[in-house]
Amino acid sequence: MNTQFTALAFPIFEKSIQDYHKTDDVDATIQNPYPEKSIEYYLYLKNWIDTVQWHLEDIIRDPEINPIKALEIKRRIDRSNQDRTDLVELIDSYFWEKYQTIHPSEKATLNTESPAWAIDRLSILALKIFHMQKEVERRSGAGGEALYRNKLNILLEQRKDLSLSIDQLLDDIESGKKYMKVYKQMKMYNDPDLNPVLYEKK
């Protein structure tokens, strides 16, 4: 049986978030503590990208932001989204290689999303939990705490359900009950040969 992958992944996400908030600076240099090219390294990097982008999304929503600065951040978010997609596909490659010797049963079924895209959602959920916890603490004794504590409890329940679903999916792939198919995202707006705004300028 598959060891509980989310028991490995979620603490790494939490560590990445805590490390980022030591400076709370979108330009801070990442200090990835895990061996390069290990799955732990990629999980930490994945969440770091998510965390920086989370805060870029906050910054760009400042109603008084300079328009030129906003465009710079928007372009940076676009690059971040591509990095995020590339890394999800890399993590899926890890699972693809891990399970390539598994022979699915004749009744094996295909999941609606690949393991790494589900793990992508878990990474974002770790960020939601962290920031909702901060909101609960910020409102402690000042009114409104109960509302945000309820939201936090829902997120924690979602973490439990999503973690279980991911681990069950990996178990099913390992036992041959499900099989993997990995599709490249093919984001057309990033491709100068597919985005008409770009290729018409050639």
pLDDT digits (tens, 9 = 90+) for 49-86: 999 999 999 999 999 999 999 999 999 999 999 999 99
Q: How confident is the model at residue 144 (pLDDT cuts 50, 70, 90)?
A: confident
Q: And the tokens for 47?
A: 């969440």
- For residue 190, is pLDDT > 90? no
Domain span at 56: 5-191
Q: How confident is the model at residue 141 (pLDDT cuts 50, 70, 90)?
A: confident
**By C-alpha distance, which of 18, 48, 57, 10 is closest to 30?**
48
What is the rounded distance in angstroms from the CA atom of residue 21 to the CA atom of residue 51? 9
Q: From residue 15, how far is each of 21, 50, 98, 188 by CA, in Å? A: 10, 13, 25, 34
Q: Average of pLDDT values for 143-153?
A: 88
Please say whether the beta carbons of 26 and 77 come within 8 A: no
Please say whether the beta carbons of 13 and 126 come within 8 A: yes
For residue 197, is it within any domain?
Answer: no
For residue 55, is it within any domain?
Answer: yes
Q: And the tokens for 172?
A: 């099913």
For residue 199, is it within any domain?
Answer: no
Number of domains in the chain: 1
What is the rounded distance in angstroms from the CA atom of residue 2 to the CA atom of residue 115? 13
For residue 35, is it within any domain?
Answer: yes
For residue 200, is it within any domain?
Answer: no
Task: Give the SS3 label for residue 86.
Answer: helix
What is the rounded distance in angstroms from the CA atom of residue 127 to the CA atom of residue 173? 28
For residue 22, is it within any domain?
Answer: yes
- pLDDT-wise least confident of 3-7, 19-23, 26-30, 139-143: 139-143
For residue 20, is it within any domain?
Answer: yes
Q: Which pLDDT score, from 0 to 100, does residue 1 have?
A: 45
For residue 130, is it within any domain?
Answer: yes
pTM: 0.90
**By C-alpha distance, which of 164, 81, 167 is closest to 124?**
81
What is the rounded distance in angstroms from the CA atom of residue 132 to the CA atom of residue 179? 36
Q: What is the mean pLDDT of the chain?
A: 91
